[in-house]
Amino acid sequence: MRVDKWLWAARFFKTRSLASDAVSGGKVKINRATIKPAREIKIGDQLEIANSETRWEVTVKALSDKRGPAPEARMLYEETPESIAAREAERESRQFVQDPAADTHGRPTKRDRRQLGRFSGS
């Protein structure tokens, strides 16, 4: 089974083309080696997956080329305890950091533009 198809079926990526792009971009490794999207995957392979800011280290438990519900997709792999702990720590650290753009809501109003002009001196 192709690795990009398995990543899509296991719900790591929304589309198969996104999974294929991630594999081509070096964001997915099998047994610590960079691969191509057509690489065959088998049960017992160790995968390292980086999707935006989230990272997973999983072991392939089953193969499926059909995308099913999330509970069934979770049965296709087993995540390592180190990966679970790292994701939890990352989630908690993000919880306390406020996004700088959280206060802005779309385009600035006329009043906002005037205040920015006074602040920047123009």
- Domain layout of the chain by residue ranges: 1-84
Residue 94 has pLDDT above 80, yes or no: no
* Euclidean distance between CA atoms 60 and 10, whole angstroms: 10
CATH 3.40.50.920 assigned to domain 1-84? The reply is no
pLDDT band at 71 (very low <50, low <70, confident <90, very high): very high
* Euclidean distance between CA atoms 103 and 116, whole angstroms: 14
pLDDT band at 14 (very low <50, low <70, confident <90, very high): very high
What is the helix (H) or strand (E) element at residue 56, kind and residue range? strand 54-60
Residue 102 has pLDDT above 70, yes or no: no
Vertex 13, ends 59 and 43: CA angle to 5°?
25
pLDDT band at 122 (very low <50, low <70, confident <90, very high): low
List of residues 6+ apart from 76 with CB closer than 8 A: 6, 9, 10, 60, 61, 62, 63, 64
